[in-house]
Structure 1
Amino acid sequence: MEDKSLPEDPAQALDPTLGDRMGKIVRLTLADTVYRDLKELLLAGRAAPGERFTLRGLAAAIGTSAMPVREAVSRLAAENALEVLPNRAVRVPLMSRARFIELRLIRSSLEGLAAETAALNADASDLAEINRCERLFAAEREKPRPDGAAAMHFNKDLHFALYRAARMPILFGMIESLWLQIGPVLNLDFQAGPERVRGGEAHIHHAALVEALHRRDGPAVRQALLADIWHAGDFILSRGILPD
């Protein structure tokens, strides 16, 4: 009868390539984590157009080796979210006026579709999350000196909670790809100063959006969202910061 017991030396049962393969799994998992963290940095507008980093500096800030940072940066560069410069520095791409205007038109179409669809598909948990994000944004705005970075973060969370509620994963991925490019430029809005956060119209559009969402009024949700996108875009263009 065949003896199917384990070998006395457990090492004899190991595939000699297992160590290498496990190392790759760990690196991939770490690279995915770094990619997620860097992506969030860009989506939330916590890095400005033209801002530069080094791979070593990013690795030190994250607390990891250079390899997973390099893999994550390569993925983001392929998505036009980062640029790798000849000296191995990493830069958030600059944004021209023409490119910004084109991206705003595309965003209006895709995000408007997601917003209107969310009015039909959002469930109770979606509505609760969207309400929470809207309240956090409003509360930040009401502070004597609101934090632009926090306002941008809550704004991003509100938008993505809305788009997620549409239950259209392909569309959601396309929107996320656009935000990787546009997020740093939106930094030019909320980081313009506390007066901009307090005096802007984003809270008005957010409130109208949430109210229409609870009524399941898809066209009104789309209209409020587009007003938010276009008003913010007009302000950024009016600052004359984007190169021709």
Structure 2
Amino acid sequence: MEHKPLPADEPAPASDETLGTRMGRIVRVTLADTVYRDLKELLLAGRAAPGERFTLRGLASAIGTSAMPVREAVSRLAAENALEVLPNRAVRVPLMSRARFEELRLIRSSLEGLAAETAAVNADAADLEEILRCERAFAAERDKPRPDGAAAMHFNKDLHFALYRAARLPTLFTMIESLWLQIGPVLNLDFQAGPERVREGEAHIHHAALVEAMRRRDGTAAREALLADIWSAGDFILSRGILPD
């Protein structure tokens, strides 16, 4: 059957969904994605502590948006075990038991060690420069008379994820990111222990060894440096006796 085109001056048939409705949906989804990314970054960088509570209304007010995109973002993060929604509509960063922390450390060692080893082979010049930039930023913060724990955590996270991106294994990267959403708040207990911890900890030693291994394209050494970093930080957190049994 032949279909005749509509005359140029004749409007198209009305849709059940107006343009305004569709635009509203686009804006809402985009805003929810933005809130999700912001909350995810907060958790990945350890800027929220285990057990810390928020309200949906409080989060919406702090972000400067309505409750709906916040609710959508929180639901996504709850599905990823990064947040808990409590019966009173409060939102909590999950508590971390000692046993679960040790389990996650074992899994991280396997996945992140693989990423480091692969990155040593796959990284290009731009990747190496970004890893070096992050390592220098962390070292510069550590060398301050009173280093800031939050800044140190931020630079530490950037260094790790620059390394994992350089592996060029998207599925592995997603798995590591999921682990960090759960472990990030616990790392808060390391770098936020005080300026002395940032200055006297071993992270800068392991970071320097990691950068050197990357320069030599030595995957085995890169894995070893990365694992030393994970286990050193984990041992310190466990030694504080803060995580419940």
TM normalised by structure 1 equals 0.96
Which of residues 3, 8, 32 is equivalent to 1:5?
Answer: 8
User: 1:143/1:5 Cα in 2 relative to 1: closer, same or farther (>3 Å)?
Assistant: same
Q: Following the alignment from structure 1 to structure 2, what is the Cα–Cα distance between the partners of residues 93 and 208?
A: 33
**Cross-structure match for 1:73:** 74
CA distance in 1, matches of 2:174, 2:63: 25
Structure 1 residue matching 2:54: 3-state secondary structure: strand
**In 2, Cα distance between the equivalents of 1:2 and 1:149?**
62
> Which SS does the other structure have where 1:80 is aligned?
coil
Query: Matched residues in 2 for 1:15 and 1:167: separation?
Result: 44
Q: Does 1:46 align with 2:76?
A: no
The separation in 1 between residues aligned to 2:151 and 2:61, in whole angstroms, is 24
**Superposition deviation, residue 15 in structure 1:** 3.1
Structure 1 unmatched ranges of 5 or more: none
The alpha carbon displacement at 1:23 in A equals: 1.5
Q: Tell me the equivalent position of 2:170.
A: 169
Query: What is residue 102 of structure 2 aligned with on the other side?
Result: 101
CA root-mean-square deviation: 1.3
Structure 2's unaligned 5+ residue stretches are none
Q: Quick one: distance in 1 between partners of 2:33 and 2:88?
A: 24
The runs of at least 4 aligned residues of structure 1 exceeding 4 Å deviation read none
- Counterpart position of 2:33: 32
Q: Determine the C-alpha separation between the residues in 2 that align with 1:100 and 1:4.
A: 67
Aligned length: 241
Q: 1:2 to 1:138 in 2, by over 3 A?
A: closer
Q: 1:134 to 1:15 in 2, by over 3 A?
A: same
Residue aligning to 1:89: 90
TM-score relative to the length of structure 2: 0.96
Match of 2:198 in 1: 197
Shift of 1:14: 5.7
1:158 is aligned to 159
Partner of 1:241 in structure 2?
242
1:21 Cα deviation (Å)?
Answer: 2.3
Listed one character per residue, the Cα deviations across residues 50-88 of structure 1 (whole Å, up to 9, x for unaligned) are 000000110011111000000000000000000000100
| Match status 1:232 vs 2:197 | no
Q: Deviations over 1:133-153 (max 9, x none)?
A: 000000000000000000000
| 1:235 positional shift | 0.1
